[in-house]
Structure 1
Amino acid sequence: MSLLEALALVLIGGVAGFINVLAAGGSMLTLPLLMFLGLPAQEANGTNRVSIVLQSVSAVGSFFRAGARELGVSLRLSIPAVAGALVGAWLALRVSDVLFEAVLIVAMAGASVMMLLPQPRLETRALTPDRLTPVVHLAMFAIGMYGGFIQVGVGVLFIAVLYRLLRIDLAQVNVFKVFIILIYTLPALALFMLDDQVRWGYGLLLAVGSMSGAWLAVKVNMGPRGALWVKRLTLVVIAAIVLRLLFF
């Protein structure tokens, strides 16, 4: 690996980490970069998850230090998402790339509609476990299944659906999203490691940048205009994903 390649991994990782934590879609930058640097698709997919896990660890730690404390709720939301991700990964081995893209376009279009609908009336009650209804758990299972199936843009769905179902501020929704993605990415990374599909040198350099980007994204998210940033960047990511699939 040359010095230029190492710098590219750190710099692109930083941009991707910022996008992933504040919205979603950073893998649209990192996966092509890893493959451009010579990694086969499976190795790129596994190596990219090193960055996702470490940027999520960085973001969760920063959120906790900034005052986000609802760990119990995050864990409850993560359980059905992990179960769904395992089902989605199993399904992904049995369908065509054409179906992948069709599902992705439909999911992103649905998420954009949810984000553009009028803002729901936000709940002022504390987000206690009793507010996590069966509908919320079913939605987490479905999005987790999508994440295991495709992964690209999964954070967009978590943001859009939790925002509508829980009716809490987008900045708080983003905290839950980051934690859930961390939890369900860990077993996925373990599977790639067992199959020897992780290039640690590339993954750790990518993670150096992504952890820095994640730290900056947390600062923006917890700021006074954090919710507005989340909404705007999420819509930009949705548009980029749909245009990439339709025209390139």
Structure 2
Amino acid sequence: MSPTDIIALLVLGGLAGFINVLSAGGSMLTLPLLMFLGLPPQVANGTNRVAITLQSITAVGGFFRGGHGNLAISLRLAVPAIVGSMVGAWMATGVSDAVFEWVLVAAMVGASLFMVLPQPKLDTRPLTPERLGTAIYTGMFLIGLYGGFIQVGVGALFIVVLYRVLKIDLRQVNVLKVAIVLLYTLPALLIFALNDQVRWIMGLTLAAGNIAGAIVAVRVNMSARGAQWVKWLTLVMVAAILIRLIGY
């Protein structure tokens, strides 16, 4: 890697880590970046999971130290997501680069549309085990399946399911989101690694940036209104990346 590559990985990694914890869309920046730096799409997809894993460990640790973790519910929701992610990762290792590139473009467009949907004002309340049911477990499996395959925009899906369906506030969504993502990313990363689709040095360099961004984000975990500028910054950057990616 050149010095310019390292700087790009650290800077965009930091921004992505911040975005992933507080909102959604960090992988819409880092996955294309890895491709632009010369990794084949499938290898970029696997390498991105190194940063996601370490960023999630950082965020989960920060939330739990701050007394905001919910281990019992996180584990319950993570089980179907883990099963889905293993299936999704296995599927991703077998698709062609050309197919994956178009899936990536479609995923980025879809995730961007999800992010611009107005958030309804709901009467939110704490999430207790008795409120969990078949619908939410099915939703977690499908998010895990998607996240295991590509990861892009997973945070937007969590917001739709946890906020709109279970009616928990966005602070709770962020705490549960990072815990579930950590647990389902570990087996997905293993599957990519076993298929030689992880480049560890680039992944760890990107992860250093992600970790720094996640540390800052945990300290400023914010409300929906406070996160608006994060969302719009992400969308502006994604628009520029999509233009570049389509011509890639």
| TM-score when normalising by structure 1 | 0.84
- The answer to whether the 8 Å contact 1:156/1:238 transfers is no
Counterpart position of 1:154: 154
2:163 aligned partner, one-letter code: Y
Farther off after superposition, 149-158 or 98-107: 98-107
1:118 to 105, 117, 120: 120
* 1:226 to 2:223 alignment: yes
Q: CA deviation at 1:244?
A: 6.0
Using the TM superposition, give the Cα deviation of residue 168 of structure 1 relative to its aligned residue in structure 2, in angstroms.
1.6
5+ residue gaps, structure 2: none
Give, in whole Å, the separation in 2 of the partners of 1:81 and 1:31: 21
Distance 2:108 2:14 in 1: 25
8 A contact 1:156–1:234 mirrored in 2: no
**In 1, Cα distance between equivalents of 2:20 and 2:218:** 11
- Partner in structure 2 of residue 31 of structure 1: 31
Give me the whole-angstrom Cα distance separating, in 1, the residues matched to 2:8 and 2:209.
9
Identify if the C-alpha distance between structure 1 residues 5 and 244 changes in structure 2 by more than 3 Å, giving closer, same or farther.
Answer: closer
d(CA) in 2 for partners of 1:149 and 1:199?
Answer: 17
Alignment partner, residue 172 of structure 2: 172
Aligned to 1:142: 142
In the alignment, the residues of structure 2 paired with residue 89 and residue 40 of structure 1 have an alpha-carbon distance, to the nearest angstrom, of: 16
- Deviation of residue 10 (structure 1)? 1.6
* Structure 1 residue 48, shift from structure 2 partner: 1.4
Corresponding residue of 2:189: 189
Q: Which amino acid aligns with 2:123?
A: R
Greater alpha carbon shift after TM alignment, 178-187 vs 147-156? 147-156
Give the aligned residue type for 1:229.
G
Q: How many residues align?
A: 241
Structure 1 equivalent of residue 215 of structure 2: 215
How many Å apart are 1:6 and its aligned residue?
2.1
Instruction: Give the percent of matched residue pairs that are identical in Structure 1 and Structure 2.
Output: 54
In 2, the alpha carbon distance for the partners of 1:107 and 1:5 equals: 26
Structure 1 residue 103: Cα displacement: 6.1
RMSD: 2.7
Q: Residue 109 of structure 1 is aligned with which of 104, 113, 116?
A: 113
**Cα 1:120/1:185, change in 2 over 3 Å:** same
TM-score (norm 2): 0.84
Provide structure 1 residue ranges, at least 5 long, that are not aligned to the other structure. none
Q: Using the TM superposition, name which of 161-170 and 96-105 deviates more.
A: 96-105
1:24-63 superposed matches below 5 A: 24-63=24-63
- Cα distance in 2 between the residues matched to 1:242 and 1:8: 18
Relative to structure 1, the CA distance from residue 242 to residue 10 in structure 2 (aligned partners, 3 Å threshold; closer, same or farther) is closer
Asked if structure 2 preserves the Cα contact closer than 8 Å seen for 1:58 and 1:211, the reply is yes
Using a 3 Å threshold, how does the CA distance of structure 1 residues 150 and 42 change in structure 2: closer, same or farther?
closer
Q: Give the whole-Å Cα distance in 1 for the aligned partners of 2:103 and 2:10.
A: 33
**In the superposition, relative to structure 1, how do residues 37 and 215 fare at CA in structure 2: closer, same or farther (>3 Å)?**
same
Letter in 2 for 1:55: Q
Paired with 1:104 and 1:191, the residues of 2 have a C-alpha distance of 23
Question: In structure 2, the residue corresponding to 1:201 is in which secondary structure?
Answer: helix
